[in-house]
Amino acid sequence: MMSVPGARLGVLRLPLLGAFVRWRHARTAAQLPVLALALLVIYDGFFGPQLAPKNLAGVLPWLHWRGLVVLALLLVGNLFCLACPFMLTRGLARRLVKQQRPWPRALRGKWLAAGLLVLFFWSYEALDLWASPWLTATLAAAYFVGAFVVDGLFAGAPFCQYLCPIGQFHFVNALASPAEVKTCDRAICRSCSTKDCLKGRLVDGRWQSGCQSGLFQERKAGNVDCTFCLDCLHACPHDNVTIAWRLPTSELWTDPLRAGVGRLGRRTDLAALALVLVFASFLNAFGMVAPVYAFERWLAGLLHTDSEALVLLLLFIVGLIVLPALLALAAAAASRALSGAKEPLLALATRYSYCLVPMGFGMWLAHYGFHFLTGALTIVPVAQSAVADAGLPWFGAPRWDLGPLVPASWLLGIELLFLELGLLGSLVAAYRIAGAHLADHQRARWAFLPWAILALALSLAGAWLLLQPMEMRGTFLQG
């Protein structure tokens, strides 16, 4: 028997939590409260006060939700997708549309998802989504409609795998998370003839679906495309699936043939998606510090335009597409020259680009952690105000003075800690990737060096951004 390290000591072994995860309705139980919050966001966004710090749509999604999901990724893994309320529409859609067609083969990579992420980040700044409860509510409602239509018309989980920007954020950053859904013993999988974790089965007279993302557990590795839905766990008749602990970032330097994904080192589309998210972590933060305004004015003058949307579009195309591609190719070229490798440049850039994921994740943690820690308690007065606006002043007058969760003097230290943890993760990942493909230690060190320099440069850029006054969105305080 071949046991998987960490599997037998996984989440299912924890008291209470393990029993909850094994419960067949655990995901629904997690989704329902999140659904209730989403509906409150939509209602208050459309009908509540349109001042963002006084509206649930201006506070919950952009301040609390983002802060909590990155902390969940850091401590466990992709818990948001587990509790995603948008997937509650999938079952309803498939009851109405009995015959689903396969998702178009030409759209099965991550290129469309990467493009949608660029479009989302541009829209966030160009439309000031964070300051518009109405637009935020519209976006949330569009998510429900999109999931309903796409997963109603197409088989599997195409909305999650190929479209959802939130899902792609979690898939990529979960590469650095400390847990994954995996088998306990691969020998049991090899002897299983029914493959229920993939195909589904009847459980107590009710159909339990298998993995709709097509991740066959025997050959599944890592967190890419895994929504933590736990369908495989409940469908497995051998109790052979768990949420197992692992060394954070270890997925980045191992490259087995993965079910439904293939080899990361050959997925240029997935590497491009990862680079978009890494550089978005810095560009998104840059959009909230004072120097961005001077830069935008300079760029507008250069283009002879007064269109902020056009200026931002160029900024995001360069910052999320052109610059990442050029830097990755330059690092790959230097790595190849220094190590004497013979591989094509694009292949090297694809393989090593994943090492930057922890650096980007560290920046997301620092940035979103800043907003969460400075405004976590704003949910109290916003909830008080929302209830009072409904004619039910049960909780008294809103306490608009509430906001920070920790003293202001702690913030920079916490942000820099997250950032440097990301740098450490990227350095380790780059070194291990080089060592896995070059047996000669001297050549591996030379191959590692350009990527280490790139990660260090990003870390210094992140530290500079964190030292700038940042807008305290979601509160009445402005940086």
Question: What pLDDT digit, counting tens, does each position of 55-98 carry?
Answer: 999 999 999 999 999 999 999 999 999 999 999 888 888 888 88
* pLDDT at 4 (0 to 100): 53
Asked whether residue 390 carries a pLDDT value surpassing 80, the answer given is no
* Whether the Cβ atoms of residue 243 and residue 26 lie closer than 8 Å to each other: no
Give the residue with greater pLDDT, 234 vs 469.
234
Q: Is the pLDDT of residue 99 over 90?
A: no
Give the pLDDT band (50/70/90) at residue 378: confident
Q: What is the mean pLDDT of residues 157-185?
A: 95
- Say what angle helices 165-173 and 357-375 make with each other, to 10 degrees: 110
Q: What pLDDT score was predicted for residue 8? A: 54
- Band of the pLDDT at 474, cuts 50, 70, 90? low
Q: Which two tokens stand for residue 319?
A: 């910052």
pLDDT in tens, 211-226: 999 999 989 999 999 9
Mean of pLDDT over the chain: 91
* 476 has a pLDDT exceeding 60: no
User: What's the confidence (pLDDT) of residue 475?
Assistant: 56
Listed residue (384, 442, 404, 21) closest to 229, CA to CA: 21
* Mean pLDDT computed over 232-261: 92
pLDDT bin (cut points 50, 70, 90) of residue 383 is confident
Q: Round to whole Å and give the CA distance between 444 and 436.
A: 9
Per-residue three-class SS string for the chain: CCECCCCCCCHHHCCCHHHHHHCCCHHHHHHHHHHHHHHHHHHHHHHCCCCHHHCHHHHHHHHHHHHHHHHHHHHCCCHHHHCCHHHHHHHHHHHHCCCCECCCHHHCCCHHHHHHHHHHHHHHHHCCHHHCHHHHHHHHHHHHHHHHHHHHHECCCHHHHHHCHHHHHHHHHHHHCCEEEEECEHHHHHHCCCCHHHHCEEECCEEECCCCCCCCHHHCCCCCCCCCCCHHHHHCCCCCEEEEECCCCHHHCCCCCECCCECHHHCHHHHHHHHHHHHHHHHHHHCCECHHHHHHHHHHHHHCCCCHHHHHHHHHHHHHHHHHHHHHHHHHHHHHHHHCCCCCHHHHHHHHHHHHHHHHHHHHHHHHHHHHHHHHHHHHHHHHHHHHHCCCCCCCCCCCCCCCCCCHHHHHHHHHHHHHHHHHHHHHHHHHHHHHHCCCHHHHHHHHHHHHHHHHHHHHHHHHHHCCCECCCCCCCCC
Is pLDDT of 6 > 70?
no
pLDDT on residue 479: 35
Confidence at 473, pLDDT banded by 50, 70, 90 = low
pLDDT in tens, 21-51: 888 889 999 999 999 999 999 999 999 999 9
pLDDT at residue 177 greater than cutoff 80 = yes
How would residue 478 be classed by pLDDT, with cut points 50, 70 and 90? very low
Percent of the chain with pLDDT over 70: 96
What is the C-alpha separation between 437 and 452, in angstroms, rounded?
Answer: 17
